[in-house]
Amino acid sequence: MNIEDQKVVDFHYTLTNEQGETVESSRERDPMSYLHGANNIIPGLEQAMNGRAAGDTFEVTVQPADAYGERQEANVQRIPLKRLGKIPRPRPGQILGLQTQKGPVQVTVIKVGRFNVDVDANHPLAGQALTFDVEIVGVRDATEEEISHGHAHGPGGHQHD
Ligand code: ZN
């Protein structure tokens, strides 16, 4: 069975950044499951999956435009510490969840001053070409429920309470 829309794909992957550092890997846990054609994974990886079958292994390098996008300098902002409300004084490198007019946003703390904090709302992998080392573990038909939800269910997929 080959990968196409409305198939659920189980796969293992190791993700490395441009510096050749391993960012994350599924090897120590369940394979990841996703519903093909439903934008569950980054576009460049989904495209590389097309037509593959269980047992296939491949490596693909995805440019930022097909991964987490380019870095936007406008996403680096200085905000008053008091906007953090009850969050204790942050440290550089810490990830914070901020409430904004557009909803909750995850930011990385860059610098902490006396009254202000510089935060970066870019995705940590924005602006990077990402290399995926992939092993397709299984391909199956999606259930009607998965298709209506727009994601895969099961151990490596979406788990409802
Ligand atoms: Zn669901």
Residue ranges of the domains in the chain?
7-68+126-149, 73-120
145 Cα–ligand 1 center, Å: 7
Would you say 35 and 117 are in contact if contact means Cβ atoms under 8 Å apart? Answer: no
Residue 87 has pLDDT above 80, yes or no: no
Give 7-68+126-149's CATH code, choosing from 3.40.50.300, 3.30.720.210, 3.10.50.40, 3.90.76.10.
3.10.50.40
Q: Summarize pLDDT for 89-138 with one digit per residue, the tens.
A: 899 999 988 888 878 888 999 999 999 999 999 998 999 999 999 999 99
104 Cα–ligand 1 center, Å: 22
pLDDT (average), residues 44-56: 98
Would you say 34 and 8 are in contact if contact means Cβ atoms under 8 Å apart? Answer: yes
45 Cα–ligand 1 center, Å: 22
pTM: 0.81
CATH of region 73-120: 2.40.10.330
142 Cα–ligand 1 center, Å: 11
State phi, psi for 10 to the nearest 5 degrees.
-100, 130
Instruction: Give 90: exposed, middle or buried? Use CB within 10 Å, 0-12, 13-18, 19+.
Output: middle
Would you say 3 and 53 are in contact if contact means Cβ atoms under 8 Å apart? Answer: yes
pLDDT (average), residues 37-62: 97
